[in-house]
């Protein structure tokens, strides 16, 4: 199975304030902003030559990201790896005793299938797996 870095997610309190650094001062381009109602976050995407930086801010104080922010503060939230077959990747992880946060993949508005690996099984790192939609 091959893996590719898709994005590094940084949790922030306010997207506009974060863009003042990432876009304005550092000079990374902003490709899009979106609201993800299911995850209760606002997201800004800043593409790199390989992968992208994803800024995520909670939209309410009860979301998982809001709780993470309150507990750990702003900073690196998770790394996201692309996999060719998310079901196979999830099964491989389960076979190795790895705890997953999701029992089955979720699907976002772009058709990406995704799941999260629990940080306690990944040495303190929240890992997201992405299976991109097949084109054609």
Average pLDDT over residues 111-128: 95
User: Please, what is the average pLDDT of the chain?
Assistant: 94
Average pLDDT over residues 106-134: 94
CATH number for the domain formed by residue range(s) 4-131: 3.10.180.10
pLDDT computed for residue 113 by the predictor: 97
> In this model, does residue 6 exceed pLDDT 70?
yes
Residue with tokens 């089955």, as numbered in its chain:
104
Contacts of residue 14, Cβ cutoff 8 Å, sequence gap at least 6: 57
Q: How far apart are CA 117 and CA 21, in angstroms?
A: 29
Contact criterion met (CB below 8 Å) for 115 and 130: no
Structure token digits, residue 3: 């893996």
């Amino acid at each position: 199975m091959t893996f590719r870095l898709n994005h590094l997610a940084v949790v922030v309190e306010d997207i506009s304030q974060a863009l003042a650094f990432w876009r304005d001062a550092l000079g990374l381009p902003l490709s899009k902003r979106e609201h993800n109602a299911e995850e209760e976050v606002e997201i800004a995407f800043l593409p790199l030559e390989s992968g992208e930086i994803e800024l995520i801010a909670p939209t309410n104080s009860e979301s998982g990201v809001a709780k993470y922010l309150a507990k750990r503060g702003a900073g690196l939230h998770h790394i996201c790896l692309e996999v060719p077959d998310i079901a196979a990747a999830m099964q491989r992880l389960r076979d190795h005793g790895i705890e997953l946060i999701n029992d089955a993949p979720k699907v976002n508005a772009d058709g990406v299938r995704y799941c999260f690996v629990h940080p306690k099984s990944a040495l303190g790192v929240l890992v997201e797996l992405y299976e991109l939609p097949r084109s054609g």
